[in-house]
Structures are given as structure tokens and as C-alpha cells.
């Protein structure tokens, strides 16, 4: 019998023990805090540490009452707690197609700019109330880029994510663009963190007192200009009653 047969047998027994140990190990559900929307979700893993730096997608369509947004989040485990940080907001294309109607024009753009703590990619999306010239569309695009760059440079990415989800940024932008041409839709199609700046001692923000997102949304109904048709006044004629003898 060869001398290495015993060591090989021990190795196979060790591998079998490891397989049995992994088989006995069961996954369990862990609570994941999503502070930006005031919600908690659950993820399955063998251990809480396994969820660190994992990316998850959260559909906000129900919370935003039909506005189809996908929120991409990164999980960070701190002090035996899992908290998520927003990384990207995507407004779904089928929602935008539904908003574009006949006799209108859409304007879109894509540019990169800096906030106080990150480099971000912004893709605005505008829909005019009527068909407009190329000159007006260019003026809207340039003004949108200028206003957004000035708006985000003094704010951190976390605050901007909140303002986009609450419709605050879009409402402010729409009022400024109204001076060029009124819009039926003003949205941020994509807001994404491309690169984070190194800030020493930057903590993960967690506000437990924050209200759920559905209670914070500023609703701005989409309205279209309609020509008021003159209403005809109905004049009732008096009918003279015949005198009966």
C-alpha cells in the first residue's frame, strides 16, 4: 500500500466534514434600514457581515403613486446594523413615454458635475406644452444645465437624492424654466454618483424620526393649456299666457 494513501483519506474526510458543516449552515433574514424613504426591508444571508457592500434595487412605484422610479442602494454594516446609502435614481422609460403626448416636444441632456462630497451624473428630461422651435429647445437645455450645476454645488449627494424623490428640485427648476417656455413635465431621468470624494470621518446618516417618503412628496399635477371656449348664454323667452274668458 502506498505511503500517501492515509493522508489522502484524511483530506477527503476533512472535505466531507466541511461539506456537511456548510449544508447545516442555514441562511436567515436580516433587517435592512432605508433611511432615505423611512422604510425597512429584509435580505437573506448566512451572516450580517456578508451583506456589507452589497447592492440592492428598490422599486418606488407604489410609494410614489405610479411614478416609476428604481432606487439603487449600497448596504453598509455598522455596529451590528445594516444601513443603505442611495447610489442611483432611475426614472423608467415607459413612464416618460406615457407623459409625452402629440403636439409636444421633449428636451433631454446628460452632464457630470460636482456636489460637496461626490461627482454625479445628471440627466434631466423636459416636455413642453406645445411644439417649439429648435432655438427654444436649446435655450431650455442650456438653462437647465446652468441652474442644476449652480443648485447642486453647495449640497451633498444625500440631500439631493431626498429632494429629487420629494419633487422639490424639479418644482424649483420648473418655475425658473417657465420664463423661457412653460413645461408640462420637468423630471430628473437619472441621478447617479460616479465618484465619491474622500471626507475624513464622514458618518452614515440615519434619521429615525424621518417620516415615510409618501408623506413628504410635493405633488405638482401636470396641466396643459386649453383654450377656453366661449359659453353661450341661454336666454329663456317669456311665453305670454292667453287670457281665458
Range of the domain at 109: 28-215
Whether 237 is covered by a domain: the verdict is no
Lowest-pLDDT range of 65-74, 110-119, 157-166, 216-225: 216-225
Whether 233 is covered by a domain: the verdict is no
Please tell me the predicted confidence (pLDDT) of residue 230: 45
Please tell me the predicted confidence (pLDDT) of residue 216: 60
Whether 113 is covered by a domain: the verdict is yes
Q: Where are the beta strands (DSSP E) in 11-129?
A: 28-34, 39-45, 55-59, 69-78, 81-91, 106-108, 111-114, 118-128
- Cα dist. 43→22, 83, 88 in Å? 19, 12, 19
Mean pLDDT of 58-69: 91
C-alpha cell at 162: 431626498
Work out the pLDDT band at 4, boundaries 50, 70, 90.
very low
Mean pLDDT of 74-85: 91
Whether 144 is covered by a domain: the verdict is yes
Neighbours of 195 (CB within 10 A): 10
Work out the pLDDT band at 207, boundaries 50, 70, 90.
low
Please tell me the predicted confidence (pLDDT) of residue 209: 46
Candidates 114, 121, 126; CA nearest to 154 is: 114
- Decide if pLDDT at 20 tops 70: no
More confident residue, 170 or 9: 170
**Block residue for cell numbers 415615510:** 212
Terminal-residue alpha carbon distance, the chain? 142
Whether 227 is covered by a domain: the verdict is no
Question: For 114, what's the count of Cα atoms within 13 Å in the CB-facing half-sphere?
Answer: 4
For 202-210, the CB contacts below 8 A with 24+ separation are: 202/117, 204/76, 204/78, 204/83, 204/85, 205/35, 205/158, 206/33, 206/35, 206/83, 207/35, 208/35, 210/35, 210/38
pLDDT in tens, 124-164: 999 999 999 999 999 999 999 999 999 999 999 999 999 99
Residues 89 and 188: beta-carbon distance below 8 Å: yes
Whether 13 is covered by a domain: the verdict is no
Q: How far apart are CA 42 and CA 206, in angstroms?
A: 17
Q: What percent of the chain has pLDDT over 70?
A: 75
Mean pLDDT of 33-49: 91
- Cα dist. 123→59, 130, 232 in Å? 19, 22, 47
Work out the pLDDT band at 14, boundaries 50, 70, 90.
confident
Whether 199 is covered by a domain: the verdict is yes
Number of domains in the chain: 1
- Decide if pLDDT at 83 tops 70: yes
Candidates 102, 160, 163; CA nearest to 127 is: 102
Whether 111 is covered by a domain: the verdict is yes
- Decide if pLDDT at 91 tops 90: yes
Amino acid at each position: 500500500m502506498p505511503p500517501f494513501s492515509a493522508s489522502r483519506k484524511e483530506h477527503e474526510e476533512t472535505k466531507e466534514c466541511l461539506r456537511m458543516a456548510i449544508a447545516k449552515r442555514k441562511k436567515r433574514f436580516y433587517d435592512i434600514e432605508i433611511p432615505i424613504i423611512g422604510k425597512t426591508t429584509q435580505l437573506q444571508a448566512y451572516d450580517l457581515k456578508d451583506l456589507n457592500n452589497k447592492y440592492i434595487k428598490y422599486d418606488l412605484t407604489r410609494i410614489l403613486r405610479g411614478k416609476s422610479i428604481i432606487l439603487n442602494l449600497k448596504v453598509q454594516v455598522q455596529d451590528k446594523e445594516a444601513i443603505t446609502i442611495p447610489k442611483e435614481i432611475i426614472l423608467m422609460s415607459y413612464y416618460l413615454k406615457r407623459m409625452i403626448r402629440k403636439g409636444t416636444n421633449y428636451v433631454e441632456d446628460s452632464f457630470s458635475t460636482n456636489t460637496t462630497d461626490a461627482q454625479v451624473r445628471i440627466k434631466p428630461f423636459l416636455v413642453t406644452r406645445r411644439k417649439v422651435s429648435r432655438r427654444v429647445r436649446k435655450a431650455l437645455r442650456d438653462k437647465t444645465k446652468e441652474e442644476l450645476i449652480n443648485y447642486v454645488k453647495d449640497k451633498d449627494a444625500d440631500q439631493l437624492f431626498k429632494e429629487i424623490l420629494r419633487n422639490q428640485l424639479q418644482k424649483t427648476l420648473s418655475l425658473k424654466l417657465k420664463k423661457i417656455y412653460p413645461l408640462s413635465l420637468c423630471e430628473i431621468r437619472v441621478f447617479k454618483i460616479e465618484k465619491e470624494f474622500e471626507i475624513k470621518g464622514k458618518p452614515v446618516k440615519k434619521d429615525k424620526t424621518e417620516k415615510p417618503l409618501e408623506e413628504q412628496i410635493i405633488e405638482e399635477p401636470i396641466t396643459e393649456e386649453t383654450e377656453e371656449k366661449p359659453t353661450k348664454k341661454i336666454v329663456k323667452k317669456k311665453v305670454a299666457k292667453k287670457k281665458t274668458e
